[in-house]
Amino acid sequence: MKFLHAADLHLDTPFVGISNFSKDLQKKLQESTYKATENLFETALKEKVDFVILAGDIFDDTDSSLKAQMFLKEQFEKLNQANIKVYLVYGNHDYYRNNFAVVDFPENVVVFGQDVTTIEQTAKDGQRVGITGFSYYQQHINQNIVSNYPARGDFDYQIGILHAGVGDDNYAPFQIQDLLKKGYDYWALGHIHKREILCDSPVIVYPGDIQGRNQNETSPKGFYIVEETDHNTKMKFVKSSIYTWEKAELTAKKDDTVDSLITKITDLLSTPGSLITLTINNAQNLNDDVVKTIERNEVMQHFISVATQGILYKIYLKFTDNPQLAKIDQKYWDQAKSNVLDLDKIKDMDSKLYSEPIIREHINDPEFMKNIKELTRNMINQKYTGE
């Protein structure tokens, strides 16, 4: 028995922050989720899987475009012709609604509703497989929906599909122990964009998204081909992403010029399809003219206009603490950090703004405060360099 497990396709991802790129590159980035999805279904056909599991957030928005729906319908029809079933749940981005789709999917596609349901399929090798799941019916679900999943049924192999986060109060929170109690053989998770195996036996796994959507979603993205033989589950990761976000660093030297930095950056852009976020450390070593050239985006513009294998996405200048100030100001910096950079105070600054889902999602990201503190410290270091 063989199946494909993918999640978080996010068709129609807008890819913000790419306005500086050429129109051609912007279009290619915006089409990358479609290309990655094509890679997914082509692999399903090539591997002759019994079925495909899509564990939520297939579309980037609940108001999915007709283009995305028609594209998906065409892909599903190819699987239908090969007698491959699709088991699909909707997540927090594309949560389930009555009359959700403008188009009807082929008969091989099973869309789970808002109630936890179990479907049975007989695989090519004769195994009876139980597949249990549910679709989101609103953007946020704060109940532990896993408690509604039935205990293992009378199946040769049972799979749970779950779009959720471990202990994440907004997205069907669960603990790993909750899943283990059900006695299933495989938990096909979605929602977290980082590929991660939470447990080997039974298998509990996030495949991650199939195409990185921003600079924080680094490393190649893809999905799993899962094969079960003689009560042994084996997984194979398959890359689907068209572009790979990467982070790189350079250390500035006192004799660095714009020319020398361009040469160093060019060397970093040697991997086709890489989107590089570059941090230049010890930026206080650069003279003012070089810093101004970078801050005016002139270096970025240079790399937009020349052909390289990789793509330079952003440049960050990181200024190291001034050693003369570090000891004196550490006490006051620590006080300010705790008093001013307080998450609750930031939330209270504008309750209307915080009520917007996209703002709330960013603010509640564990990395948010860390990034704010780093940016603040960097600005202070830059301002007082040499004083």
Q: What topology is assigned to 2-239 in CATH?
A: Purple Acid Phosphatase; chain A, domain 2 (3.60.21)
CA pseudo-torsion sign 272, 274, 277, 282? negative
What tens digit of pLDDT does each residue of 14-60 get? 888 888 788 888 899 999 999 999 999 999 999 999 999 999 999 99
Average pLDDT of the chain to the nearest whole number? 88
What tens digit of pLDDT does each residue of 308-352 get? 999 999 999 999 865 555 555 555 556 665 666 666 666 666 666
Coil/strand/helix, residue 375? helix
In whole angstroms, what is the distance from residue 98 CA to residue 95 CA? 10
Q: Which has more confidence, 375 or 85? A: 85
Where exactly are the structural domains of the chain?
A: 2-239, 244-385
In whole angstroms, what is the distance from residue 31 CA to residue 25 CA? 10
Nearest to 337 by CA among 367, 385, 381, 369: 369
Cis amide bond preceding 202, omega within 30:
yes
The pLDDT-based confidence of 386 (bands split at 50, 70, 90) is very low
Contact yes or no for 84/53 (Cβ under 8 A): no
pTM to 2 decimals? 0.82
What tens digit of pLDDT does each residue of 196-239 get? 999 999 999 999 999 999 999 999 999 999 999 888 999 999 99
Residue 302: phi, psi to the nearest 5? -60, -45
